[in-house]
A and B are shown apart, each in its own frame.
Chain A
Amino acid sequence: MAGQVARLETFQPEIVAFCCENSGYLAAQMAIEAKLSYPQTVTLVKLPCSGRVDALFLLKALENGADGVMVLACQKENCKFLKGNVRAEQRIEATRKTLQRIGIQPERVAFCHLAANMGHKFVEEVRGLYGKLTELGPNPGKVRK
């Protein structure tokens, strides 16, 4: 019991952030350049468009050690490929439902719209998910610990 409490106290959620290279990834770079602090357990994955994201990516990330995943997409009606961010959001919703059905909290999947110059928003979103995951605890479905 004491060991478990200690583990929870030291729990640092692992997050995989799938970022559109036209917005989320640039916002993350801006946050880094501006030396804004955000949890270091975030792994950035650059995508050509948030529309490239698929349920498979999100599930594999969660299965392989992530406690939460997020998709950072361009602002509404501002996708370079017109509907990529809309499709990404649809897939996120479907993935949340899938997770719920297998007993994993859907809140582990986050989605946000932002622009390339929104380093602060990137940090805010990452911290938001990190806080939520800290409350939820480790992902019970992760196979690779």
Chain B
Amino acid sequence: MIIANGKPIEEVLKSLEGHKKVAVLGCRGCVTVCLAGGEKEVGILASQIRMAREQAGQPVEVLEGTVERQCDYEYFEQVKDIIEEADAIVSIACGVGVQGVAETFPEKVVYPGLNTMFMGANLNVGVWAERCQGCGNCVLEISGGVCPVARCSKSLMNGPCGGSQNGKCEISKDVDCGWQLIYDRLSKIGRVDSLRNIIPPKDWSTSRDGGPRKLVREDLQLESGK
């Protein structure tokens, strides 16, 4: 899922300076699961904004709403009323959701309430770690199910590099060497010999290097185009 974390409240309050009626908009997708932008977090942020502004002598009306997913624009219909009523919206969805609000309500001022961080997994209560960079050309079949793009700091295709020490990456003793993980995993499944095969340079045009990406599936498209 997409992992996000709340922006510092000072930053949110700064964005909202001068606004008299704002809507805090949550999302029931990934950010609810990673406890950053669901219905509860909408309540918490709304409360913080109201109290901060009250004690600063600049009261503000804060409306609250949460939709199923801010990345599926049809759900905005459910909160259209509060969005139209507010003079600014704080979206606590991922960056996709914030842009969804901006695209759906082009006349409205939209601020992000979260910092979108990465696509990752929940390793423990309160701990998330990156697992995929969405490179558009998955190589997990040759690396034993451990991603060299996301887990190696240099995204090397033929690692490890000289910075790998005792299974850790040179960038931090808290970061596992991705290629050590790949080696360990391939050893466990009896495929360590596959490391002798040199992986050719990766085509990064399917990743961000190719510019903003778009997926069109004609088998799913409707004749109306909507």
Contact = CB atoms under 8 A, between A and B. Distances in A.
Interface of A: 54-56, 59-60, 62-63, 98, 101-104, 140-143
Contact of B51 (A54, A55, A56, A102): A102
Given A54-B40, A101-B9, A101-B10, A140 B54 contact: yes
B56 A56 contact: no
26 contacts: A54-B40, A55-B44, A56-B40, A56-B43, A56-B47, A59-B48, A59-B51, A60-B43, A62-B47, A63-B50, A98-B9, A98-B44, A101-B9, A101-B10, A102-B9, A102-B48, A102-B51, A102-B55, A103-B52, A103-B55, A103-B56, A140-B55, A141-B50, A141-B51, A141-B55, A143-B51
Contacts, number: 48
Given A98-B9, A101-B9, A103-B56, A142 B51 contact: yes
Interface in B42-96: 43-44, 47-48, 50-52, 54-56, 59
A60 B47 contact: yes
Of B9, B50, B54, chain A has the most CB atoms within 10 Å of the CB of B54
Contacts of A103: 52, 55-56
Interface residues of B, number: 16
Nearest to A101: B9
B43 A104 contact: no
B135 to A, nearest CB: 35
Interface of B is mostly: helix
Contacts of A142: 51, 54
Interface in B13-51: 13, 40, 43-44, 47-48, 50-51
B40 A63 contact: no
A104 B44 contact: no
Given A101-B10, A103-B55, A59 B47 contact: yes
Contacts of B56: 103
Contacts of B8: 101
Given A101-B9, A104-B51, 13 more contacts: A55-B44, A56-B47, A60-B47, A63-B47, A102-B48, A102-B51, A102-B52, A103-B52, A140-B55, A141-B50, A142-B54, A143-B51, A143-B59
A101 B51 CA distance: 11
A111 B143 CA distance: 50
Contact of A56 (B10, B13, B44, B52): B44
Contact of A63 (B9, B10, B13, B51): B51
